[in-house]
Structure 1
């Protein structure tokens, strides 16, 4: 029992995220890999600095979603960006947090972004061979294209307002519009084939 208590007390020793960043480069490469593997398993904490960590990213805005997508292209520490976007926590506060809590939030956000990206990918309109040959797949305008489309759909004159809309609302509208477009394509095909048969 005493041995187990000692082991648990060692595990319970807190290392801040800031200390981790300083100490990691000083470790042997094998130990670095071992530590990073452990941190990949870190779970989302329920609270950070008295603020509740959301159970999913369904309530974030499209602007926040876009900010998350840009993290890998920024020079700033990804963890700092994640906490700033998700919870409005300042960099100096992030460096004082338990390293497992920091990675728990990062792992959670990555998994959620992967889920959201798959949702958007699943509702892409299926294009005909003729449309593909004409270059329809080159008409990908990224975030601006989505913002522009939603603003026009909803009659919003200031496109910046779309950034404050929940991403799940934009996704639902896009899903509905794409399903309607595919239905109309199928219906037109049916009419075309029926007309051919009558000839």
Structure 2
């Protein structure tokens, strides 16, 4: 039994992603589950087709980040889309890659996107009960809202230019602006309290 598992693992390591897509549906459910469990632990390779795989997604643009968020798993192969966005590879090139390398990159990208989403979530401005009652939470314009805000902030006339800006730069500006806005709210409260005490 252990020998068979070792042989299966070796076969999987030698399998291309294209072969994997063909062979997986032909396997028993138990074997499918076993293979997919192995692939969940696949690590990011340092290089793919001679190109370096980045150690983090800190260097990608906001446009690439937006492209990742728009991957439709029901209409397209997410692996092909991930490699197209990250490294500019074609479907044919992705299908020829080692299946463990493909899943290693997918696992890496998924983990990085989770980290980035948490970063953006952590800098959301806390709204007052009055702002919530007035409907401030309905003013979420998604990607366009971020693009529009950054373009206005930086005096960029063509909003499409913002897509080529590194997401980490946009995040840092947003974090700084939100912290400044929260500081000003606290300061205004101090002035109000001080005025009340003087009455």
| TM-score grouping bracket, smaller chain normalisation | over 0.9
Q: Corresponding residue for 1:157?
A: 157
Alignment coverage as a number of residue pairs: 195
Q: CA deviation at 1:72?
A: 3.2
Q: Alpha carbons of 1:10 and 1:150: their partners in 2 closer, same or farther (altered >3 Å)? A: closer
Note if 1:117 corresponds to 2:138. no
- Residue in 1 that maps onto 2:10: 11
Runs of at least 4 residues off by over 3 Å: 7-10
Q: Structure 2 CA distance, aligned partners of 1:32 and 1:10?
A: 12
Q: Which residue in 2 is equivalent to 1:126?
A: 126
Provide the rounded CA distance (Å) in 1 between the counterparts of 2:69 and 2:76. 14
Q: Identify the residue that residue 76 of structure 1 maps to in structure 2.
A: 76
Structure 2 length-normalised TM: 0.94
Distance, in Å, in 2 between the alignment partners of 1:146 and 1:122 is 16
Say if 1:52 and 1:39 are closer, same or farther in 2 by CA, change over 3 A.
Answer: same
SS in 1 for 2:72: helix
Q: 1:10 to 1:163 in 2, by over 3 A?
A: closer
Distance in 1 between the 2:59 and 2:9 partners?
Answer: 37
SS in 2 for 1:45: coil
Distance in 2 of aligned mates of 1:47 and 1:41: 18
TM-score between both structures, scaled by the size of structure 1? 0.94
Q: CA deviation at 1:8?
A: 7.7
Matches for 1:17-166 after TM superposition, within 5 Å: 17-72=17-72, 75-166=75-166
Task: List runs of 5+ in structure 2 lacking aligned partners.
Answer: none
Counterparts of 2:137 and 2:32 in 1: how far apart (Å)? 42
The match for 2:181 is 181
